Amino acid sequence: MSVKLERIRKRVGDFELRDVNLSVEKGEYFVILGPIGAGKTLLLQIVAGFLRPDEGRVFLDGEDITDLPPEKRRIGYVPQHYGLFPHMTVEENVAFGLKMRKVERREIEEKVGEVLKLLDIDHLKDRYPETLSGGERRKVALARAMVVEPSVYLLDEPLTGVDPREKEKLRRELRELHRSLNKTFIHVTHDQAEASLLADHIAVMREGRIVQVGSVDEVFRNPSDEFVAKFVGFKNLFRGEVIEAREGIAVIDIGGPKVEAVTERKGTCLIGIRPDDIILALEPPKSSMRNVLKGRVVGYDKAGAFAEIRVDVGGVEFVALITRASFDELKLEVGKEVYVCFKASAVKVL
């Protein structure tokens, strides 16, 4: 089912959700990305019906459900801490929704058994939530939502607080679940990696407003403003002045080094370059890259298969993300001279 939010406004204490317009297509994986306190959970609660918007309408498959109470919307809600009923066993938890819909006991047993088996937790059915591990609780919360076959799933920070080593596996499982269920997922998170790896479309939220909506590519490669850029991982953000412009290419002085970017802009501007769009080389490379800047390594951080290198180019610090293999090949160390290289098209002018 498609979900649409039209001009939603909601005030809660000092916080206000303003002018929220959202359109989620049927069956897609939609991620709402934003820092903590942006209003993401609030938005989810409005979609679920726990909160009534002060203004605006909510539509489910074209139907106005703004005045419909949550128990009448067919929406599966999985809260951040799973919300398992502590006084019920796993089986009773999962059966709850069916019991509320007055399904016959035999059918309940059947359906619950099916879902528990599907998620590999049927051996836990007589256990109480407090005896379960975090991962097991997550599965029970999912099973409970799945068994009533909702048309939309709302997931509040489902991967937050998960061991980083487990995260990759869980992301894959979530993606597979989405594929097999073929239902609309609305996933809320502050983790941009999660968003980039799972979403079909993303909405970036900040202080109660939606600041950009688009496909992963659109948002991650063409952030609409400085905030979004920072949030989606642009590390090299510099203020500069266009000092030359010809044939659609502008030369921008960022306080020393000059950067060439594909833009018609004039005057002062903010530019951003993704660390992964930067290549480091010991000699100026023979390639089509218009930006080749000489600098000196001032520091680096190695993390897993990648390394983040900080290079000082004429007083301006660039951050590049390269593979460990490249790092070893280049024999990088603090003080070493390297060339910071990137295409003009990699420079985003905000």
Write out the residues near another protein by the rule CB under 8 A: 45, 48-50, 69-71, 73, 75-77, 79, 81, 83, 85-87, 96-97, 100-101, 144-145, 148
80 or 224: CB nearest another protein:
80
86 or 161: CB nearest another protein:
86
At closest approach, how far in Å is the CB of 87 from another protein?
A: 5
15 or 324: CB nearest another protein:
15
At closest approach, how far in Å is the CB of 69 from another protein?
A: 7
Q: Are 76 and 150 in contact (CB under 8 A)?
A: yes
At closest approach, how far in Å is the CB of 17 from another protein?
A: 17
At closest approach, how far in Å is the CB of 85 from another protein?
A: 6
148 or 319: CB nearest another protein:
148
12 or 334: CB nearest another protein:
12
150 or 223: CB nearest another protein:
150
At closest approach, how far in Å is the CB of 304 from another protein?
A: 34
At closest approach, how far in Å is the CB of 45 from another protein?
A: 7
147 or 250: CB nearest another protein:
147
At closest approach, how far in Å is the CB of 141 from another protein?
A: 8
